[in-house]
Amino acid sequence: MRKICAITANRADWSRIESILKALKTYPTCKLQLVVIGGHLSERTGWTIKEIERKGFSVSAVIHTHIEGNTPGIMTKSVGVTIQKLVDVIEKLKPDVIIASTDRFETLAVGVTAALMNVHIAHIQGGEVTGTIDESIRHTLTKLSHLHFVSTEKSRERVIKMGEPAEFVFNVGCPATDLLLKMPVWSGKKTLEKLNESLVGTHLLRTDAPYIIMVQHPVTTEFGSSGSQIKETLIALAEFDSQVVVLSPNIDAGGDDISSTISQFVSHSEDFYLFSHIPTEIFVNVLRNASLMVGNSSSGIREACYFGTPVVNVGTRQSGRERSMNVIDVGNDRTEISRAIKNRLAHGKYPVEQIYGDGTAGEKIAEILLSVSMPPVQKRITY
């Protein structure tokens, strides 16, 4: 029996591990442990632990690690709090392997804690290139981890170049892609009807009209600019006669500035609709049926290509990430953003490109996690 512990902090990293956990649940040789922390326990981001439980997952432990406030200092303190509180949980659960997902600051705390406590770490989605502090965190986690489950061949090559043994670097695709390809396919009308169920009052989306989705997060290495950056995007979007579905940002430093700017803007606009959280099965279809996606979410790079949805990628947050022809990159300038929106709306859908796997990553990762002979806990560079 192998005890595998997954630790999740928000809706983004949950999408990277959900299909893995579903697969692991089918193995009698696996004792699955799930620890929920961070943004999952915040009302502001939709209290998403409820969605995890609704999907039938048993939660082994809940840790309140998020400190109110969105500054680099607060984010750093949250890492410290997470490390401190995780120690007791890991000592109690005694896992054989801890799954550390993606490049979040919360996951940095997971990697540091597990490494110092001599627990094997399986890292999801290493070797990628992006902007903001995520880039540094991702590569730090690679050097702390023992098993590497990457999404593309280029990512695998980078991880090996960082001195990781090739036999423990597996190109399996992105587990979030599994969810995309297994979700039921809805029409645009049904998708908007589902969104309307969570809206209050009479300000509802027109179910017979096209829409744009906007998701823009703070860039932590550009702290202090988030408010002005989102304002440029909103002003550009307001030029177009289209409904705009807006998803609240994550809890990174600068998130409060984005949230307050969006809230003020939406209160004065009939065409903008704000959601703190959109459940996965709805979000996938929102992305599928949208005329366009605007912002800097990784879903615009990693997931929209599976539907051919046009994307205007704003700013530096996704700089360097592998992308499809459906994506156009622009700076934080309303004129540039507006021009790109016009271009992408005129073009319409793009050919589908499956850059980040074929929808079987979760099953592959689960099988490897339970069958691989673990390397020594003490790591050694290989070049």
- Is residue 71 within 8 A of residue 275, CB to CB? The reply is no
Residue ranges per structural domain of the chain: 2-174+357-371, 181-347
DSSP letter for each residue of 8-72: E-SHHHHHHHHHHHHHHTT-TTEEEEEEEEGGGG-TTTT-THHHHHHTTPPPSEEE--PPS--SH
Question: What is the pLDDT, as a whole number, of residue 71?
Answer: 86
Q: What CATH number matches the domain at 181-347, 3.40.50.300, 3.40.710.10, 3.90.550.10, 3.40.50.2000?
A: 3.40.50.2000
Helix (H, G, I), strand (E, B) or coil at 136: helix
Question: What is the pLDDT, as a whole number, of residue 163?
Answer: 97
Give the pTM.
0.89
Q: Mean pLDDT for each consecutive 10-residue tract of the chain (383 residues)?
A: 95 91 97 94 81 94 85 91 96 98 92 98 96 92 98 97 97 94 95 91 89 96 95 97 95 91 92 92 96 97 96 96 96 98 97 94 98 96 88
Question: What is the pLDDT, as a whole number, of residue 34?
Answer: 98
Q: How far apart are CA 135 and CA 133, in angstroms?
A: 5
Where does 2-174+357-371 sit in CATH, by number? 3.40.50.2000
Q: Is 181-347 in the same CATH topology as 2-174+357-371?
A: yes
